[in-house]
């Protein structure tokens, strides 16, 4: 545990293992400025959770959400966009829509950096945002420069733009004259496995899908039940799985692999990259403590070690919860961190003790093809179509704002009724 005594940046600290007493520290007691960088799960949901506190109703409380995109992205459902199971507006609503009728301000801008000493967020257009409390939630980015040719010939799969590019590439391949469509996915984590199953089902006859994993197992951080279900699904879809395999280079129409000291050349039409992420450059350059991977270090209260007015959430931070366990880089961890961050900001503004974050694993879910999934928790292990229904229902309930959820469920109900009527006719 980190030990601190004394007074730092206007906060009173009395603790051997964290911050017990946190006094408000803002330029004016009447107008605290809360700045949230990044509109993903951690950032957006922190902003939305802050609405629970009565002081947010005051016009003097300024909350600003900053993101370079104009829309939120519900990443666990990004695969459904590729297979046309869901529409763009369902999984990527605009911030303008989500923050309507709230006092939260949205600033669309590219972040250049943060001066932690002067408490200023620097934007690429030359603008600056002053803050009293800061939430870092910008996530990480794909790293394509470690393998020769990856930046030129591999498509990442993290954003809405990535999904749109993939859809266009798949459309071109569908109308090509090739007898076989050779698709290769790099990374045997959840993104790689889910994408492999979806693409294999989309091209059941023409598609030849390969999944390449550097480790000895896919889904290494998941339960044996989920891992076994994933292997069964990949085998049923005809996906070729390469384990303990390193990528030497990616070239036009081929990928060079090294497996057991043997070099193999694999013909490809499309390479998708779901592995090898890194911290964003300005996060790596922050004047605070980092680990060897460039992640910032936080206390169990989610605060930066040296700057208690700054909270860091999601996979840009190396965080351990109240029990000392590492916090996983998952959507459910981001939801829970957002709730804790909002509560701790509220506690800081009202001179109450901060909470230590404690991650509660509610189970894991993966899509394993169109309409199919695997769900695993302490109370339930299930795979197949019913698991697919549960997964879609749970994720739709988790969509941001009640208004957006109701619109999605209304559209879903209308589509189901229309389908039934057509069947009857």
How many other C-beta atoms can be found within 10 angstroms of the C-beta atom of residue 416? 10
Q: Do domains 4-68+109-141+278-349 and 142-276 have the same CATH topology?
A: yes
The token pair that represents 257 in the structure block: 């692999």
pLDDT of residue 58: 62
pLDDT of residue 169: 93
Task: Show the beta-strand stretches assigned E in 203-313.
Answer: 207-212, 240-242, 245-251, 254-259, 262-267, 270-273, 277-279, 296-297, 310-312
What is the rounded CA–CA span in Å between residue 333 and residue 117?
29
pLDDT of residue 57: 61
Q: Considering the domain delimited by 4-68+109-141+278-349, tell me its CATH architecture.
A: 3-Layer(bba) Sandwich (3.50)
pLDDT of residue 22: 45
Q: Where are the domains of the chain?
A: 4-68+109-141+278-349, 142-276, 364-424
Average pLDDT over all residues of the chain: 88
Closest by CA to 116, choosing from 96, 143, 134, 89, is 134
In contact, 197 and 369? CB cutoff 8 Å? yes
pLDDT of residue 6: 31
Length of the chain: 425
Closest by CA to 48, choosing from 137, 114, 120, is 137
pLDDT of residue 206: 85
Question: Three-state SS for 66?
Answer: strand
Fold of 142-276: FAD/NAD(P)-binding domain (3.50.50)
pLDDT in tens, the chain (425 residues): 333 223 333 333 323 344 434 444 444 445 789 999 999 999 999 999 998 877 666 667 899 999 999 999 999 999 999 888 899 999 999 999 999 989 899 999 999 999 999 999 999 999 999 999 999 999 999 889 889 999 999 999 999 999 999 999 999 988 887 778 999 999 999 999 999 999 999 888 888 999 999 999 999 989 999 999 999 999 999 999 999 999 999 999 999 999 888 999 999 999 999 998 899 999 999 999 999 999 999 999 999 999 999 999 999 999 998 888 899 888 899 999 999 999 999 999 888 999 999 999 889 999 999 889 999 988 889 999 999 999 999 999 999 999 999 999 999 888 878 777 777 76
In contact, 338 and 170? CB cutoff 8 Å? no
Model's pTM, two decimal places? 0.88
């Amino acid at each position: 545990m980190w030990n601190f005594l004394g007074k730092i940046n206007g906060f009173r600290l009395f603790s051997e293992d964290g911050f017990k007493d946190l006094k408000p520290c803002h330029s004016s007691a009447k107008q605290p400025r809360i700045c949230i960088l990044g509109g993903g799960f951690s950032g957006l949901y922190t902003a939305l959770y802050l609405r629970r506190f009565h002081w947010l109703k005051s016009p003097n409380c300024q909350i600003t959400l900053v993101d370079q995109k104009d829309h939120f992205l519900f990443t666990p459902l990004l695969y459904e966009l590729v297979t046309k199971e869901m529409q763009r507006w369902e999984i990527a609503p605009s911030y303008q829509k989500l923050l309507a009728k709230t006092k939260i301000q949205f600033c669309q801008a590219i972040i250049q950096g943060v001066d932690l000493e002067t408490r200023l967020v620097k934007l690429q257009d030359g603008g600056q945002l002053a803050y009293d409390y800061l939430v870092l939630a910008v996530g990480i980015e794909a790293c394509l420069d470690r393998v020769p040719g990856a930046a030129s010939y591999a498509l990442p799969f993290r954003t809405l733009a990535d999904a749109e590019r993939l859809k266009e590439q798949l459309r071109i391949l569908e109308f090509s004259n090739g007898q076989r469509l050779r698709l290769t996915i790099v990374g045997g984590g959840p993104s790689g496995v889910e994408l492999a199953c979806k693409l294999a089902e989309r091209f059941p006859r023409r598609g030849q899908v390969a999944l390449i994993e550097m480790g000895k197992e896919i889904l290494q951080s998941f339960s044996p039940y989920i891992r076994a279900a994933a292997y069964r699904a990949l085998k049923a879809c005809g996906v070729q799985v390469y384990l303990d395999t390193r990528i030497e280079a990616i070239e036009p129409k081929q990928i060079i692999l090294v497996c057991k000291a043997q070099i193999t050349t694999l013909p490809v039409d499309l390479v998708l990259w779901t592995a090898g992420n890194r911290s964003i450059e300005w996060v790596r350059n922050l004047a605070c403590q980092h680990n060897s991977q460039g992640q910032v270090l936080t206390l169990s209260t989610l605060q930066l070690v040296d700057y208690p007015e700054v909270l860091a959430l999601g996979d840009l931070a190396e965080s351990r919860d109240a029990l000392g366990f590492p916090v996983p880089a998952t959507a459910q961890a981001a939801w829970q961190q957002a709730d804790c961050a909002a509560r701790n900001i509220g506690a800081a503004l009202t001179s109450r003790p901060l909470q230590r974050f404690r991650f509660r694993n509610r189970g894991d879910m993966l899509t394993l093809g169109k309409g199919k999934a695997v769900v695993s928790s302490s109370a339930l292990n299930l795979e197949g179509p019913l698991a697919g229904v549960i997964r879609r229902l749970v994720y739709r309930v988790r969509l941001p704002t009640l208004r957006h959820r109701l619109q999605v469920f209304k559209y879903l109900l209308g589509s189901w009724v229309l389908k039934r009527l057509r069947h009857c006719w």
